[in-house]
Structure 1
Amino acid sequence: MTPEFRMIPVADLVEHPQNPRDDLGDPQKLAELANDIAENGNTEALHVFPITEGENAGKFLLIAGHRRTEAARLGNVAELYARLRPDLDSLDKQLETMLRENTHREGLTPINEAKAIQAMLDCEGMSVKKVAKRIHRSETFIRSRAAMVKLPESAKSAIDAGRMTLEQSQIFDEFADDEEATAELTKNAGTTDWGFTVNRLRNAKVRKFKTAASEQLIKDLGIKTISSYDSYSSNKYSRDYDRDKTPGERVAEGQVAVLGSQGDLEWYQVKQTGKKQLTEAEIADKKRFKDIGAGLEQADALWLEHVERKISAAAGHFDRPEDAPAVLALRKSMFAGYSADRARATRVLGIGVTAEGGMTADVVAAVDARVDKLKLLQLAYLHAFLHLMKDSLHKPSTWHCKYEWDRTSLQKFLDTRREIFGYEVTAYEQEAIDYWDEKERAATAESSDNDEGWDLEDDDA
């Protein structure tokens, strides 16, 4: 069949609703093209499909030449040279032609191409294999492009802007069922934090999977669990590293388990010891230890309230222009990528949400938004609290100075807290310090007595 060419009024040209190109390019270049067409006409024919039905009957559907048509309108050109393509009588044929036409033209982005390919796949009777053959691309290429259509808009923009590779975009598939992870990937798309974010989310996904599997095993086998604190703070348990034993065999032996931070089960043998009858002194000591723990809970609450008041009161501090670098440095280094720091920050920022249910995207956003509003003195207080202050002050073990470096570390913390926050040791905290000092003196005295006993035996010998 001999191709038919004719001049067609620009007013009779209808833009294709599935045109892959959604950007007509540089306005300056479009203006130059408009001038050229106004002076010389279009040397390259448009491709159009004659419309015979509907409200646009008698007009022509643009298949190739959207940019040239827009330039003609800009240059007030009345007619354009076009080739009639009645053979393009289905959407898949039209999309195929548009894709092949635009493949070698500047301005068709990967996302533009992805949308057109997905539209072809949606046509009746089409498949990955058929589309690949029609536009002369591999099936892998077709699948990867089609997957891009489901990406968040920020990721699509990062791809089109060259900030994200196509390989990186495929990582979104790994977290398709995780809205929070997808939100984090979207936030960091095309940034320097991308690699760190992907590794952290992958590790979290593995940890979540292991945890779920371990929890199901605990439920199915009726495994008795203990806390990690109990496993090392008590002499009732000994770790069993035998990898050949099955969980069922361990349960039969009476072992207990700790659900580790990475989702694995750590197994412990319960030591067989007779129940010891406590002396009056031991009972009193046990009660004192419990009272100290209760007191430290109150002391910790008072300390947090003090820090919160300090940060709140510092809102009256007015930053100077020369403070800007210090403010920026503190904000940049406040969390250093660690969610634990943000979790601690929720305790003194009064943001209305806490990290008790985990560091969700809402909690992270609330903390970051609050920090962005803090002034220099407020930031300094928060930075000191997160990076110079001890954590777990409500635990009696935190106040135990068994070695000299323990004592030095504790004293440094107390001195720093007093110097920065003007906060003295509370009676509850002093009670904990005195308790452990007494314990250490008693242990030293007992050791000394034992040493003397050995010396006497040596002398007798």
Structure 2
Amino acid sequence: MARTPPIKLTESKPTGGKPNLSASSFDALLGAQFEKITEVSPTEIPLSQIRFVEQPRKHFDPVQLEQLSASIREHGVLQPVLVRHDGLNFLLIAGERRCRAAKLAGLSEVPARVPHISETQARTVATVENLNRTDLNPLEETEAVLSLLENRYHEDRSKVLERLRKRRDLERGRSGHNVMSSEEAFELDAFFSALGRFAAGSFFVNRVPLLKMPDTLKAAVLGGRLEYTKASLLAKIVDEEKREALLERTLKESLSLSQIRVLLSNSKQESGVLEKFKTSLEKPLSRLEPKQRKRAEKLLEELHLLL
């Protein structure tokens, strides 16, 4: 078998927009863990013994997976996957796409590096490796960054979000007893500097809200069917029925961001007219018998749905 090339913690080259993490960035984010991985020689491991663990990446494009599978049939797996042995199984750290494609190609084994690192270190390595991909969607990317911060500070999600909020407040010049110190801000900024694609404050303002989107919007983004900018706009629609209807129309007609904005603006204007109409009817409605009033209110609701 040909000698396996040195490890590269990425499967794809950057195509613009999202910067690739350099070796120095890996070193800054992973520290000594980076050296531990690169020093380990690869070995062949049966695919049947590799277990997939939770990773930031949720969606695999079937066309791209088949293309990689075809390449593997011809050239083999050129880049080793990363796994950790827990005493019973090999737990995948990085390379799920390669494993899936290798299985499609009919392979029974893949080259793998098995560094001796802890579960926490493995999660960090897996997250950093996934962040270095160019096809990670914004939702997955946001989850990955928050996961890295949780591991770095040994804090749960709520405390990490509070840390980011404090950095945002400091950035906006807000003062008070619950403000982040300059040392804490410097450390957090250094982390995002190593990532090379966000600032702490803007990440909190622009990316964290994505996690609060309704499940249907999240699913559309994760499935690669909807851009996160459109999802963010649709998420502002409080009425679930209207939101789902516009989501369906957006996907079916491939509506642009500007077209969605126009539709939302028109909807607001119509709602304003309806509210004025309902207000003008308050006094006449109050004179009706309870049964008649209930019937009138139901008719108004039907009118609202039609508009």
TM bracket (short chain): 0.5 to 0.7
2:48 aligned residue (11, 18, 28): 11
1:20 counterpart residue number:
56
1:70 counterpart residue number:
100
1:165 counterpart residue number:
229
Structure 1: which 5+ residue stretches go unaligned? 204-334, 373-461
- Give the CA deviation at 1:75: 2.0
Q: Is the 8 A contact 2:131 2:144 kept in 1?
A: no
Question: Counterpart of 2:65 in 1: which secondary structure?
Answer: helix
Give the whole-Å Cα distance in 2 for the aligned partners of 1:111 and 1:74. Answer: 27
Give the whole-Å Cα distance in 1 for the aligned partners of 2:149 and 2:245. Answer: 30
Alignment of 1:63-212 (within 5 A): 63-87=93-117, 89-91=118-120, 93-123=121-151, 125-126=154-155, 127=160, 128=164, 129=188, 132=192, 135-136=195-196, 137-143=198-204, 144-156=206-218, 160-165=224-229, 169=232, 180=238, 188=246, 192-194=259-261, 197=264
Query: Which protein, 1 or 2, shows the higher relative CO under an 8 Å CA cutoff with sep ≥ 6?
Result: 2
Count of paired positions: 214
Matched, 1:354 2:297: yes
Give the whole-Å Cα distance in 1 for the aligned partners of 2:129 and 2:277. Answer: 52
CA RMSD of aligned residues (A): 4.4
Question: 1:134/1:181 Cα in 2 relative to 1: closer, same or farther (>3 Å)?
Answer: farther
Alignment of 1:359-370 (within 5 A): 363=301, 366-367=302-303
Question: 1:72/1:164 Cα in 2 relative to 1: closer, same or farther (>3 Å)?
Answer: closer
Give the ranges of 4+ consecutive aligned residues of structure 1 lying more than 6 Å apart after TM superposition. 198-201
TM-score (norm 2): 0.53
- Give the CA deviation at 1:341: 8.8
Give the whole-Å Cα distance in 1 for the aligned partners of 2:212 and 2:75. Answer: 43
Spell out, residue by residue over 1:205-231, the C-alpha distance to the aligned partner (whole angstroms, 9 max, x if none): xxxxxxxxxxxxxxxxxxxxxxxxxxx
Question: Counterpart of 1:80 in 2: which secondary structure?
Answer: strand
- Give the CA deviation at 1:50: 1.9
Q: Is the 8 A contact 1:99 1:135 kept in 2?
A: no
Question: 1:199/1:78 Cα in 2 relative to 1: closer, same or farther (>3 Å)?
Answer: same
Identical-pair percentage:
20
Q: Is the 8 A contact 1:50 1:60 kept in 2?
A: yes
Counterpart amino acid of residue 194 in structure 1: R
Question: 1:163/1:20 Cα in 2 relative to 1: closer, same or farther (>3 Å)?
Answer: closer
Matched, 1:46 2:81: yes
Structure 2: which 5+ residue stretches go unaligned? 1-35, 165-187, 286-292
Give the whole-Å Cα distance in 2 for the aligned partners of 1:354 and 1:15. Answer: 55
TM-score (norm 1): 0.38
Give the whole-Å Cα distance in 1 for the aligned partners of 2:101 and 2:126. Answer: 18
Q: Is the 8 A contact 2:127 2:147 kept in 1?
A: no
1:31 aligned residue (60, 66, 71): 66
Q: Is the 8 A contact 2:274 2:304 kept in 1?
A: no
Question: 1:131/1:149 Cα in 2 relative to 1: closer, same or farther (>3 Å)?
Answer: farther
Q: Is the 8 A contact 2:46 2:108 kept in 1?
A: yes
